[in-house]
Amino acid sequence: MNQHLRYALANARLQATDLAARLAVDPKTVERWLQGRVPYPRHRWAVADVLQVDEADLWPEVAGYRRTISSDIQAVYPHRHAVPQAVWRQHFASAVREIDILTYSGLFLAEDTSLMLTIAQRARVGVKVRVLLGDPDSPEVAARGADEHIGPDVMAARTRNALMLYQPLHDVPGVEVRLHGTVLYNSIYRADNQILVNTHAYGISAAQAPVTHLQSGTEAGTAAVYLSSFERVWTSARPHPLKITDQ
């Protein structure tokens, strides 16, 4: 019997059938987990996210193995759209030093008014905000659109749309936006030492690709690789005034 999972369900005021519905699995599968069967990693991570607990609290027997893989890894989501909005909001709201965003358009962020307000609020209290968006006129942005089978012009239009939506941050001190023309292997969303990495896969939209939650620890850790990548892109990018005037 997995009493840890049973207690967590009770604390969340959920039934086994509720959890099955959230994860789109057969209720019998959840019952087997309650009886002691250890789920596959993707299901363990999803259950922990739904119940708002650490995986180790539900399956202590696998926590040690997970840590041997990388102590940086906090969670892995199968798709970006599987990351709860509450996670994104808490991620940026928790920043006390810096927020870094590296993507091509990141429209899912720019279109979320509450996220934009959160980022602006953090900047107003002294958090340094750096945003890297794709240069809509660059061949790299066009190529990404072609790779995703949406067309080069569509990807460029998304980036321009994102720039328009970021305009409210124009007059907020501490916010800087730059445009890059790099081949983007991952989108990076950093809040201090917490990093969400959206892996890119050829022919697959970013929303369908996995997201890994990393916690920056040592300079030789997994997270450090992505932080170094961000700095390289930032150095090579060109500043964008953000304020767009009528032609």
pLDDT in tens, the chain (247 residues): 888 888 888 888 899 999 999 999 999 999 999 998 888 888 888 998 999 888 878 887 775 554 445 667 888 899 998 888 889 999 999 999 999 999 999 999 999 999 999 999 999 999 999 999 999 999 998 888 888 878 778 888 999 999 999 888 878 888 999 999 999 899 999 999 999 999 998 888 888 999 999 988 656 678 888 999 999 999 999 998 765 444 3
Residue 247 lies in a domain: no
CATH of the domain at 94: 3.30.870.10
Residue 75 lies in a domain: no
Residue 43 lies in a domain: yes
Query: What is the structure's pLDDT at 28?
Result: 92
Are residues 141 and 179 both part of a single domain?
Answer: yes
Are residues 61 and 91 both part of a single domain?
Answer: no
Are residues 27 and 89 both part of a single domain?
Answer: no
| Global pTM value | 0.69
Are residues 164 and 193 both part of a single domain?
Answer: yes
Residues 83 and 131: their CA atoms lie apart, in Å, by 20
Residue at a domain's end among 27, 43, 69: 69
Residue at a domain's end among 69, 102, 122: 69
Q: How many C-beta atoms surround the C-beta of residue 133 within 10 A? A: 26
- Domain enclosing residue 64, as ranges: 3-69
Query: What is the structure's pLDDT at 96?
Result: 95
Residue at a domain's end among 37, 69, 101: 69
Q: Which residues of 69-92 are buried (b: 16+ CB within 10 A; e: fewer)?
A: eeebbbbbbeebebbeeebbeebb
The tally of domains found in the chain comes to 2
Which residues, including other chains, have CB under 8 Å from residue 177's CB and lie 6 or more apart?
131, 132, 133, 163, 166, 169, 239, 240, 242
